[in-house]
Amino acid sequence: MRGSRGYHLKNFGLIFVLLLLTSCSGQTENSDATIQRAKLDEFEGNLLSLITQHDLVYDLKIKNHDIKAVMITIDYYQNGQFVQQLSQLRAPILEEEIKKELKLVIFNQPLTETEESWTSSFMAGSNNASVTFKNDITGREKMNFASASGGRDKATLTVDKSKVIATIAYSNKNELYIIDEIDSEEDLKKATKYEHVYIISVGLKNEQ
């Protein structure tokens, strides 16, 4: 009963975080959209750290009004080899919401010693979309892996071109080096050379 209560409290906390987060506008460039790390206040940051292991919160600003959808993907690599796509969220962007405060929220949460969950969310007022995927991590915790994460503080986005925005790696190697900006196959190769690596990307589509 105690474990069940803790699980429900975590779920309530996650819902509360998604409703609580507020947006910050990013700098614009010659592109279809821009993303920028959201500035969270101390309470928001502390709450996220209590209920998630790794989290990403970005403000999204759409410049091209022909954009119809945003995509968030999470790819999983082992020792430099692509294993599978853990999650993909394709969220529609309604025309009347393009000028609103838009936010992307991605986080993972340990559930048990052998299972974790990944959640990707798009927030646009009443038009919110979210997907959660459970991932088997049997054996990983027993290896005493260290973890590290990194990514872009801000970036420009172009239609039909997926951009890596963050990397999360687990390894028992002496050093963990995270590449914040992955722009080439060589960058991706270096970023995924560890035992367990998660690559998070964002893309835009002209069709829902």
Which tens digits make up the pLDDT trace of 21-43? Answer: 544 444 445 799 999 999 888 88
Q: What does the block give as tokens for 199?
A: 């690559």
Residue found under tokens 């700098």? 27
**Amino acid type, 165:** I
Residue 11: predicted pLDDT = 59
Query: DSSP code of 159?
Result: B
- Angle between helices 2-20 and 42-51 in degrees, nearest 10: 150
Instruction: Mention every residue, 6+ apart, whose C-beta is less than 8 A from residue 60.
Output: 33, 34, 35, 70, 102, 103, 104
Is pLDDT of 76 > 70? yes
Whole-number average pLDDT of the chain:
85
Nearest alpha carbon to residue 128 among 155, 101, 159: 101
Q: What does the block give as tokens for 37?
A: 């790390």
Is pLDDT of 17 > 60? no
Least confident of 81-85, 113-117, 158-162: 113-117
Residue-wise DSSP of 119-152:
EEEEE-TT--EEEEEEEE-TTTGGGT-EEEEEE-
Cα 13 to Cα 18, 42, 50, 123, 155, distances in angstroms? 9, 16, 9, 17, 29
Task: Quote the CA–CA distance of 93 and 32 in Å, as a whole number.
Answer: 13
Q: Which residues on neighbouring strands pair with residue 102, listed in sequence order? A: 60
